[in-house]
Structure 1
Amino acid sequence: MAPQRFREQFEQIQRSMPDVPLAMGPDDAGEFLYEKGVVLARDGEEARVVEDTVRQHFTTFAGLAPDHVRRTSPETNRSGITRIRVADPGQGDGSGDPAVAGALRALSATEGRAGRRLVSRNHVVSIAVNACPGDEPVPVPVGERPNPAAAEAAHDPDSAVGVLVIDTGLMHDHRSYPLLAHTRGDAQVEECDGEGVLKQYCGHGTFIAGLVAAVAPNTDITVRGTLNDAGAVLESEFGEKLFEAVDQDGWPDVISLSAGTSNGRTDGLLGVDAFMRELREQHTLLVAAAGNNGSATPFWPAAYASLPGYENAVLSVGALRADGEFGACFSNHGAWVSAYAPGERLVSALTGFDTPVPYVYQHSTYDACRYGFSYACTCRYPRHTGVLSEEDGSAKPDQVMFEGLAQWSGTSFATPVAVGMVAAHMTAQAQTDPRKARRQLLEANTEFAEVRGAHVPALLPPTWRPVGASLPSVRA
């Protein structure tokens, strides 16, 4: 059976959120996921306008009872967002939601008069390797060094750059990896299932932290498990969770965020609007993954880098393929992506340092690149068979053992490489302003790559090495 990566992940995420009926959008195109029967509005007067307009529209044109439309969350959250129920979320399947689409249409004229967006779907925000993953982790031989390798720089607590990784939590044995000895934060929830098999995406945050520490050893890294639950959270909750992450220790120098969603729009994500406005007033630089849909559609929050007022506050990062000369097949792209960094077949810390840990693949590889590329990309190599792709039992899924380091691909991992480049620049130049460091780094950059015909900035760490075309199967 040919793999259908997005649909496989739709079912996986739905299982992780059993009480939240989900749909694909727009319509059945499989570009993003969202909560059925619910729309979002800003608290206060705008929520009232949305509620009244939708109620009138549905009563007049759709024959729904007025009490179908009602607010389902209090107007007290810091992100300033209210959930408004517009229909029974249990109706229909996951191929779009006509009631939500109708609510969006009902507000279109009102939004035009107001001069700004009033309503939104409640999108699912996921780690950028989740709803359309670059690939799954692959074991590397014991003794292989990380890639990028550790830079020759000392960790100095007095001058270290503060980095906050918002992702999945830290694996229990992360301190066994020397580069993460001083990393702190939240523990990964439920690393393995009842049979001792590593769960999908566990180790994602640890892998990211390892990449930051390799490129920029003089960093104080904190990992928050904001996305521990299969890497997915509703937009209505995401802004609040971002606030909680920064509130624990204060605003850091740099935030590494390998999560987001597209929404079919070019004006941002309603659920994170309050957080992004507060970020703009801080000194913090947000470095965010561009996403793995192989698309030019803006992916949020990364695409804020292209919006007026956020140019210096956000660095959006796409992924280069293993040779560093071209874009990875899966990487999102477009004028809203600030720069690209290596994001294919990187090697960093995962788990199994103390005791080897088994993992069963969830997705099968493709016979041909799903984005139409001809190079030996991660769509096809290393070859493996996955549980979600072979639910009819036609083939046995592959199992591997992790013993510390792993190889992994995605814009999720290009992002911490770019974080490390910014932090290393801050240390080398005694720069205390991460936003100035962002600008200086890009202005001084002399490396470029080709992405979909465009000549783009390539952030290549000195210790990163291109990976050759030797691509063995993971099967024993």
Structure 2
Amino acid sequence: MAPERFHEQFDHIQRSMPDVPLAMGPDDTAEFLYEKGVVLARDGEEARLVEDTVRTHFTAAPDLTPDHVRRASPETNRTGVTRIQVGDPGHGDRSGDRAVAHALRALRAHERRAGRRLVSRNHVVHIAVNACPGDEPVPAPLAAGPNPAPDTSPYDPDTAVDVLVVDNGLTHDHRAAPLLARVRGDTQLGERDEEGVLRPYAGHGTFIAGLVAAVAPNTDIIVRNTLDDAGAVLESEFGHRLFEAVDRHGWPDIISLSAGTSNGRTDGLLGVDAFMRELRDRGTLLVAAAGNNASATPFWPAAYADLPDHADAVLSVGALRSDGEYGACFSNHGPWVKAYAPGERLVGVLTGFEQPVPYVYQHSTYDACRFGFRYACTCRHPRHTGLLSERQESTGGTAEKVMFEGYAQWSGTSFATPVAAGMVAAHMTAHKERDPRAARRQLLAATADYAEVRGAHVPALLPPTWRPVPVTRLAPPA
């Protein structure tokens, strides 16, 4: 049986959030995760309307009673969003939540009259390799060096571009890697388990910071540990954490964000509305990952790049495969993805270089690409057996353990994103452009490189120091 990554990651995220019962959605598929028994509404009149409407609606539902409807968090906050409990979060299973579905249906008529959304699930926002992993890191030899290779242009503190990486924290020994000597920020909590084994997705923020530094050396990079718990956070908390990150750092030139969620809609995330409105009015450019579901469904916040009010402030980034000619098998796609960058088998810094660090794979590779592609993609190569897959399949097999000595090879739109952010920053330095949004427009207008993604020709942002890696094309199955 092939491993079911979404279900494996559901278990992984649920263990990291033991006090938050989760379900998969929408009700007939598994595209995202959300909190059971709770909906979100804007504070004030809209929250009261949601409560009153749901309370009335539930009087006719045999499994729900009016006293189920109560505010889970009565205080207001900068996100302007309230959690409203609409049912018993212990009811049902991971496949869905009837109470939340009833609440969403109850507000449809009000939403049509209001001309906008009034209520939402409380989605789980996750690192873009997490609930939809491109792959897991693979040890890379020290002698080969990173790819993209470090640009040797000089660093000038007076003109350096300010880049904020919102992710999980830095590995404790990251400064031992020369590429990250000037990178500052939070250290990741719980980087290793009690046996010294690297935890899943530890080093994610470190790897991203190294990619920015390699592509754009004239940068001041700060990493914030915003997504530490398995790279996952509830939507109701995500907006607050984004505000917290910029409050601590100040609004930077560029934010690199390799996290998000789909929600089955085309109008954004209720929980980050306030942050996105403030971002729109600042000069900051948000560079955000398009996600790894191989889907055209919008992935937020990246898909804000396709909304007229936010298009200038957001660059959404998909992943190219290792030759740079086509889209990677896992990359989300569609008109809301505005650019693509190398995102398959990049090589960068995972940990410092003080001592080798063990890692146990979580997911088993597939016998064939799970998205139907016919090249040697990360779904199937390099082959390994993972712990979560073994638990799902109950085969009694042994998960594979590897050792990292500093560099890793890793794939995902998570990593195409900092490559694109670095290219915007490098353009700012090369052209003495202080406005990152203007640099975004100039860079996309000037690019002469294009790739093919699902039959469409799309802008390809290829760093000069990136080395394409030829792919192996596979014959169709017999």
TM-score w.r.t. length of structure 2: 0.97
- For the aligned residue pairs, the C-alpha RMSD in angstroms reads 1.1
Tell me the secondary structure at the aligned position of residue 351 of structure 1: coil
Tell me the secondary structure at the aligned position of residue 370 of structure 1: coil
**Residues of 1 paired with 2:73 and 2:102: CA distance?**
21
User: What corresponds to 2:330 in structure 1?
Assistant: 330
TM-fit CA distance, 1:249: 1.7
User: What corresponds to 1:210 in structure 2?
Assistant: 210
TM-fit CA distance, 1:308: 1.1
Q: Where do residues 224-373 of structure 1 align in structure 2 (5 Å cutoff)?
A: 224-373=224-373
**Residues of 2 paired with 1:17 and 1:393: CA distance?**
27
Contact 1:10 1:131 in 2 (8 A): yes
The alpha-carbon distance between structure 1 residues 389 and 159, as it changes in their structure 2 partners (threshold 3 A), is same
Render the CA deviation track for 1:209-255: whole Å, top value 9, x for unaligned: 00000000000000000001100000000000000000002100000
Q: Where do residues 396-475 of structure 1 align in structure 2 (5 Å cutoff)?
A: 396-469=398-471
Unaligned runs of 5+ in 1: 472-476
User: What corresponds to 2:476 in structure 1?
Assistant: none
Render the CA deviation track for 1:408-446: whole Å, top value 9, x for unaligned: 000000000000000000000000000000000000011
Render the CA deviation track for 1:324-371: whole Å, top value 9, x for unaligned: 000000000000001000000000101151010000100000000000
**Residues of 2 paired with 1:95 and 1:312: CA distance?**
37
Tell me the secondary structure at the aligned position of residue 192 of structure 1: coil
**Residues of 2 paired with 1:385 and 1:446: CA distance?**
41
Q: Where do residues 144-155 of structure 1 align in structure 2 (5 Å cutoff)?
A: 144-155=144-155
- Code of the residue aligned with 2:76 in structure 1: it is T
Count of residue correspondences: 471
- Code of the residue aligned with 2:289 in structure 1: it is A
Contact 1:422 1:434 in 2 (8 A): yes
**Residues of 2 paired with 1:102 and 1:66: CA distance?**
13
**Residues of 2 paired with 1:64 and 1:25: CA distance?**
20
1:130 aligns with 2:130: yes
Tell me the secondary structure at the aligned position of residue 446 of structure 1: coil
User: What corresponds to 2:60 in structure 1?
Assistant: 60
Contact 1:319 1:327 in 2 (8 A): yes
1:25 aligns with 2:25: yes
TM-fit CA distance, 1:64: 2.4
Contact 1:186 1:224 in 2 (8 A): yes
- Code of the residue aligned with 2:429 in structure 1: it is T
Tell me the secondary structure at the aligned position of residue 275 of structure 1: helix
Contact 2:167 2:227 in 1 (8 A): yes
Contact 2:175 2:352 in 1 (8 A): no
TM-fit CA distance, 1:165: 0.2
User: What corresponds to 1:474 in structure 2?
Assistant: none
The alpha-carbon distance between structure 1 residues 470 and 180, as it changes in their structure 2 partners (threshold 3 A), is farther
User: What corresponds to 1:78 in structure 2?
Assistant: 78
Tell me the secondary structure at the aligned position of residue 24 of structure 2: strand
User: What corresponds to 1:13 in structure 2?
Assistant: 13
Contact 1:162 1:221 in 2 (8 A): yes
TM-fit CA distance, 1:468: 3.0
TM-fit CA distance, 1:59: 0.9
Unaligned runs of 5+ in 2: 474-478
TM-fit CA distance, 1:185: 0.5
1:378 aligns with 2:374: no
Contact 2:355 2:405 in 1 (8 A): yes
**Residues of 1 paired with 2:63 and 2:131: CA distance?**
35
TM-fit CA distance, 1:178: 1.0
Contact 1:43 1:75 in 2 (8 A): no
Contact 2:147 2:465 in 1 (8 A): yes
Identity of aligned residues (%): 77
Contact 2:323 2:471 in 1 (8 A): no
TM-score w.r.t. length of structure 1: 0.98
1:120 aligns with 2:120: yes
Contact 2:64 2:99 in 1 (8 A): no
TM-fit CA distance, 1:98: 1.0
Tell me the secondary structure at the aligned position of residue 276 of structure 2: helix
**Residues of 2 paired with 1:140 and 1:295: CA distance?**
29
TM-fit CA distance, 1:75: 3.4
TM-fit CA distance, 1:92: 1.2
**Residues of 2 paired with 1:358 and 1:306: CA distance?**
41
**Residues of 2 paired with 1:190 and 1:322: CA distance?**
32
Tell me the secondary structure at the aligned position of residue 206 of structure 2: helix
- Code of the residue aligned with 2:282 in structure 1: it is Q
Contact 2:280 2:310 in 1 (8 A): yes
**Residues of 2 paired with 1:147 and 1:292: CA distance?**
21
**Residues of 1 paired with 2:413 and 2:461: CA distance?**
13
